Amino acid sequence: MLSDVRILGSSGQAQAALHARVDPLTRQRLAETQDPARWREILSTARFTPPLPLLLAGIELPDGSYSPDTPLAQGVPYASAAQQMAQDHVADIPSGFELAVGLEIDDGVPSFLAWFRPLQSVGSRSETVDAAPPAPVGQPAAAVAQWFSVVSAQPVPEHDGRLATARQAADAYMHRSKAENTLRTYRAAVRSWCRWAAGHALPALPARGEDVAAYLADMALQGRRTSTIDLHRAALRYLHHLAQIAVPTAHPMVTATLAGIRREVKETLPRQKTALTWDRLVRVVETISSHDLVGARDRAILLLGFAGAFRRSELAALKVDDITVDEDGMQIRLGRSKGDPQRKGTLIGIPRGLTRNCPVLAYETWLRQAGITEGPVFRRIWSARGRRAGATLVGTPPRIGPHALSDRAVTDIIRKRCGDTHLEGDFGGHSLRRGAITTGAKDGYGLLELKRFSRHKSLQVVETYIDEASIKARHPGRSRF
């Protein structure tokens, strides 16, 4: 949702400018209210034609004046796109601030405006509650996609004793019943559905059963996997659930179409990421210097990720307070994990090794060089900028950001380091976890021990991580053939 709507100049001129550029349904909703305070809610789901520019507000200078606004993008059609573009352009937000995006109408000329605003202090209360905007039933597909992005990422409000706040909190907690990765995937699926519906002049919300069946059949004709098709169906079910309208995905035509797709589609087994086993991992980390910040961080990510059989999201979310180190090794309390949806917490122990490739040593080296004593363990490093004087770089040293790396950044680091070593295979974020389990299987550990090590819920899942080499090497008939 837009953080603010600012009118500079005549309000009548601003209203006329908005009426000329928004979609018909938004124009109707604006005409039905005389309360400018509702504009923010209504315009958060509006589509602007022609699209608006996106600006980054200037900052206050020491003399009290302001620097000029910085153009970030042109042709931004709606608020959610402006928010995403602003996040993409502003990589590092100053500590104690957040990035806000609003709509500014200056002398009848509207534009999206991004700016930094101080974070609300803990314990302070907002006078108003940002309730979720109403479902855009019957609105253009773009408005549906934007609305779903807003309501599926609703923050939990602070307590103020009001019923409206309690209801908003109930909605926010309901969304948190699903993992963030699931919601992110649902948002992408809903955007895909809205693009398809708009391209065929079909209603996006509510969707009709026959249209959903045709959409899923179209995906099958494109060769999409049945698991992907099932995911899109689940996303559409969740979209209609949030809108509190009839769910079309249970229509008999949809169910029969999916059954036919599963019967006809011939799929190969999913291709697993290449396991980064210990031998391969050593080849990679031996090429990384531990004497610079980036090298020290990447060595710690690779060695610690392997030693704990971490998922990439778990590795990215590690905080200093979660880790205790002593002379025997380290103990990590994993507060949030895919395998622990109830958040009971999991303890992971990693022994201290004797070689320079000890994960505990790599972790200590990274913290010492980075000067990190609290907060996220693995962070973005900003390269030094300056000019060259002869062979010497004159400028500031590398700077460490305050925020944790994303799980995608962890994947990128693994791929880059494996590529630098010219390892053959399809490496990714799961390669460390898969490699740790595969190495354990080769070393003779049983399924129960590997299940406890990897924190999986079932033995069947653990078996899928043991690659073909391990299966053949431990074949019961190997010594008889």
In this structure, the answer to whether residues 284 and 262 fall within a common structural domain is: no
Of 236, 270, 304, the domain-final residue: 270
- Of 201, 227, 229, 234, whose CA–CA distance to 215 is shortest? 229
In this structure, the answer to whether residues 329 and 466 fall within a common structural domain is: yes
What kind and span of H or E run contains 433? helix 431-442
Q: What's the mean pLDDT in 351-357?
A: 90
In this structure, the answer to whether residues 141 and 209 fall within a common structural domain is: yes
pLDDT of residue 431: 92
pTM attached to this predicted model: 0.56
Residue 184 lies in a domain: yes
pLDDT of residue 287: 93
Is residue 465 very low, low, confident or very high in pLDDT (cuts 50, 70, 90)? low
Cite the DSSP H helix spans in 141-251.
141-151, 163-175, 180-199, 209-221, 226-243
> Would the pLDDT of 279 be above 80?
yes
Q: What is the spatial order of strands in the sheet that 323-326 belongs to?
A: 323-326, 329-334, 346-351
Residue 439 lies in a domain: yes
Instruction: Give the residues across from 7 on adjacent strands.
Output: 105
Instruction: Report the C-alpha gap between 58 and 114 in whole angstroms.
Output: 10
Residue 160 lies in a domain: yes
Task: Give the range of the structural domain holding residue 93, as residue numbers without chain letter.
Answer: 5-119
In this structure, the answer to whether residues 285 and 140 fall within a common structural domain is: no
Judge contact between 314 and 469, C-beta under 8 A. Answer: no
In this structure, the answer to whether residues 67 and 190 fall within a common structural domain is: no
> Would the pLDDT of 286 be above 50?
yes
Q: What's the mean pLDDT in 459-481?
A: 65
What share of the chain has pLDDT > 90, as a percent?
Answer: 29
Q: Which residues of 307-321 are buried (b: 16+ CB within 10 A; e: fewer)?
A: bbbbbbbbbbbbeee
pLDDT 10s digits, 408-435: 899 999 999 999 999 988 898 889 998 9
In this structure, the answer to whether residues 66 and 107 fall within a common structural domain is: yes
In this structure, the answer to whether residues 301 and 222 fall within a common structural domain is: no
Q: How far is CA 413 from the centre of its chain?
A: 17
What is the number of structural domains in the chain? 3
Q: Lowest mean pLDDT: which of 182-186, 254-258, 303-307, 457-461? A: 457-461
pLDDT of residue 59: 61
Judge contact between 333 and 322, C-beta under 8 A. Answer: yes
Q: Lowest mean pLDDT: which of 56-60, 107-111, 254-258, 302-306? A: 56-60
44 compared with 89, residue with greater pLDDT: 44
Q: What's the mean pLDDT in 61-74?
A: 69
| Rg of the Cα atoms in the chain | 26
Is residue 257 very low, low, confident or very high in pLDDT (cuts 50, 70, 90)? very high
Q: What's the N-to-C CA distance of the chain in angstroms?
A: 67
Judge contact between 409 and 380, C-beta under 8 A. Answer: yes
Residue 480 lies in a domain: no
pLDDT 10s digits, 395-408: 557 788 888 888 88
pLDDT 10s digits, 361-395: 999 999 999 999 999 999 988 765 444 434 444 45
Task: Return the CATH number at 212.
Answer: 1.10.150.130
Of 242, 270, 298, the domain-final residue: 270
Task: Return the CATH number at 455.
Answer: 1.10.443.10
> Would the pLDDT of 9 be above 60?
yes
Of 226, 251, 270, the domain-final residue: 270
In this structure, the answer to whether residues 305 and 248 fall within a common structural domain is: no
Q: Lowest mean pLDDT: which of 22-36, 70-84, 422-436, 441-455? A: 22-36
Residue 76 lies in a domain: yes
What kind and span of H or E run contains 351? strand 346-351
pLDDT of residue 415: 93
Instruction: Report the C-alpha gap between 8 and 3 in whole angstroms.
Output: 16
Instruction: Give the residues across from 37 on adjacent strands.
Output: none
471 compared with 440, residue with greater pLDDT: 440
In this structure, the answer to whether residues 70 and 212 fall within a common structural domain is: no
Residue 128 lies in a domain: no
In this structure, the answer to whether residues 77 and 194 fall within a common structural domain is: no
pLDDT of residue 390: 41
Instruction: Report the C-alpha gap between 202 and 260 in whole angstroms.
Output: 24
Residue 342 lies in a domain: yes
In this structure, the answer to whether residues 107 and 34 fall within a common structural domain is: yes
Q: Which residues of 28-50 are buried (b: 16+ CB within 10 A; e: fewer)?
A: ebbeeeeeeeebbbbbbbbbbee
Instruction: Report the C-alpha gap between 93 and 252 in whole angstroms.
Output: 49
pLDDT of residue 219: 94
| Residue showing tokens 């045709």 | 214
In this structure, the answer to whether residues 114 and 153 fall within a common structural domain is: no
Residue 28 lies in a domain: yes
Q: What's the mean pLDDT in 345-361?
A: 90
Which phi and psi (to 5°) does residue 135 adopt?
-65, 135
> Would the pLDDT of 61 be above 70?
no
